[in-house]
Structure 1
Amino acid sequence: MNKLIASIRKPIYFKRLAVVLCIFLLSSCASKKISDITYVKDSKALVTSFPQLDIYKTRKSKDNPVVIFIHGGYWNEGKKGIYGFLGRNFAKKGVVTVIPNYTLSPNGNYDTMAKEVTAAIKWTYENIEKYNGNPEQIFLMGHSAGGHLIALVGTNPKYLNNKEMVKGIILNDAAGLDMYSFLKKYPPTKEHNYDVTWTSKEENWKDASPIYFVSEKTPPIFMITGTKTFPSIISQNKEFVEKLHTFQPSVHINFQEKKHIPMMSQFFWPWNKNYKEILKFIDINK
């Protein structure tokens, strides 16, 4: 019986493996990766830091929309190389994708990270035309901590003076939209290096919270949130949308029945429905 089951399962396994490999090869052929471009030479990190970015260049004609993706990981983990699947899938769909690294805690705090994200946006605006991207069609996308950073840069006026440089913001299960309220209840400790990321000063907690800077200058926002994600993410996303409604009445949360990590890993599949929704959002706002 075990041999029979094995003989049935083997073809299924190899069929699935073949599908995954085909997806990878097709996506790779549809894009070209340019790796490890230094985008800032003067970081305010606590150590010498020269963050780099990768570009996934579509092979389609020039003037393509651009997505800058900022990864998550509690502000102290993660790296750009993990998210090549996102860059390849977007490039296959005609979107040039930029994926930067940024200085992680404890070598930098939220302010360091936000300034580096700002530098990545400015670099992209000045250089992306060389890689078939349209500098007038730049969108920001982030998951978890990355969602916080793009929301902060897109709302707090101290980071990006020209908000028109960003045509839209895509928040995927964004964390930290109201760190002030969260840290008042749960003060930062050494866990996840929060004592460094947020510091002990309450004025910094508010300065780090996008919800307090929403205004008429905030770029259009598209949000997806998991119904099985962390309760603090769900509650803060809801509060953020309520605040945003004053300036963007039609904005809403696209809830999906997923946990926090699957909200990102689902983008491995090029046919994931979120690509279609994001492309629609881009098309409307570019």
Structure 2
Amino acid sequence: MIDRRRFVLASVAALLPAGASAAWRLRQPAPQTVDYGPAKLDIYAREGAKGDPVVFFIHGGAWRIGNRNNVNAKPGFLLARGFLFVSIDYRMLPKADVAAQAGDVEKAYAYVRANIASYGGDPDRIVVMGHSAGCHLAALTGLRGGLPGVAALVLDDTEAYDIEALARAQGGRLRPIYAQAFSDPGQWRALSPATYIGMAKHPPVFVAYSNPPIRATAAHDFADRLRTAGNKVTLFDGSAYSHMAINRRFGEDGDALTAAVMAFLKATVT
């Protein structure tokens, strides 16, 4: 007779990316789910945590799909290294536009900053990390001052740092995935993270990009502008990764991006 539990675990394992940690597959921690107002967030905390630094994660999905469960190996990996981990939902297109989504991120962050100490986290050592659309939202909210006291930003792969420049690079109009999210050119400047460079002192920023050349160009330009304004920036060449792999592989054994992010976190919050 087939053991159903073993069969399910084996089936799930077959779908995981090569090199994923077996320890993570077996010991992914269970989160505590909280309703912060517009949506929900999950808080992953190790037993006995006290004053741990926090990674606050914003998922991707073209501002239209995805949810807080899209975390791969991140919770187990980070908890094992002394961090708390938070993953948030935010309202999706077309129910909420990108401006409303940025507001959701700021509300979720405010909730976490006010309450994370009761879960064993340090509200003064919160790192906001995002991938794809979540990367854009992390950069936008972090640079415009919507994440007060944020310790650092980890920005994992987007083209949407400067929407006007992106439109110019794409022949005067945005590709469909961006045109759907940024349909009103009158909002492009307000929704571009680069607009806010130099308006205040920004936290240390880690910028990673994947293999499409347009992402490398956008990331280099953004990093250069931050540095010129006197900000600390770490730029990671992720041209060996696809857009999905640069997020999915975080926490895997031997992953180069993971090592670079952890070195950045050690230098900023640990």
**Does TM, scored on the shorter chain, surpass 0.5?**
yes
* Shift in Å, 1:217: 1.8
Cα deviation code 1:235-283 (max 9, x no counterpart): 1111101101123465242102111111111115255343343233223
Inter-partner Cα distance in structure 1 for 2:104 and 2:89: 9
Match of residue 243, structure 1, among 225, 234, 246: 225
The alignment's TM-score, normalised by the length of structure 1, stands at: 0.79
* Shift in Å, 1:192: 4.0
Match of residue 42, structure 2, among 34, 43, 54: 54
% same residue: 24
Q: Which residue of 1 aligns with 2:188?
A: 205
Q: Does 1:39 align with 2:32?
A: no
Q: Give the 3 Å change call, closer, same or farther, for CA 63–270 of structure 1 in structure 2.
A: farther
Q: Does 1:225 align with 2:209?
A: yes
* Segment of structure 1 superposing worse, 142-151 or 55-64: 55-64
| RMSD, aligned CA | 2.5
Letter in 2 for 1:23: W
* Shift in Å, 1:219: 1.2
CA contact (8 A) 2:203 2:231 kept: no
Inter-partner Cα distance in structure 2 for 1:188 and 1:106: 18
Inter-partner Cα distance in structure 2 for 1:81 and 1:149: 18
Q: Give the 3 Å change call, closer, same or farther, for CA 96–252 of structure 1 in structure 2.
A: closer
Q: Give the 3 Å change call, closer, same or farther, for CA 145–171 of structure 1 in structure 2.
A: same
Inter-partner Cα distance in structure 2 for 1:249 and 1:128: 27
Q: Does 1:166 align with 2:150?
A: yes
* Segment of structure 1 superposing worse, 132-141 or 208-217: 208-217
Q: Give the 3 Å change call, closer, same or farther, for CA 85–208 of structure 1 in structure 2.
A: same
Q: Does 1:194 align with 2:192?
A: no
* Shift in Å, 1:71: 0.8
Inter-partner Cα distance in structure 1 for 2:52 and 2:41: 19
* Shift in Å, 1:183: 3.3
How many residues align? The count is 250
SS in 1 for 2:233: coil
Q: Which residue of 1 aligns with 2:96?
A: 108
SS in 2 for 1:206: coil
The alignment's TM-score, normalised by the length of structure 2, stands at: 0.83
Letter in 2 for 1:194: A
Q: Which runs of 4+ in 1 moved over 4 A?
A: none
If asked which structure has higher relative contact order (CA below 8 Å, sep 6+), I would say: 2
Inter-partner Cα distance in structure 1 for 2:45 and 2:253: 16
Cα deviation code 1:112-142 (max 9, x no counterpart): 1100011111011001111111101001001
Inter-partner Cα distance in structure 1 for 2:251 and 2:234: 24
Q: Which residue of 1 aligns with 2:118?
A: 130
Q: Which residue of 2 aligns with 1:263?
A: 246
* Shift in Å, 1:233: 1.7
Inter-partner Cα distance in structure 1 for 2:230 and 2:44: 31
CA contact (8 A) 1:220 1:285 kept: yes
Q: Give the 3 Å change call, closer, same or farther, for CA 219–73 of structure 1 in structure 2.
A: same
CA contact (8 A) 2:205 2:233 kept: yes
Cα deviation code 1:83-136 (max 9, x no counterpart): 152122111211101100111111111101100011111011001111111101
CA contact (8 A) 1:60 1:94 kept: no
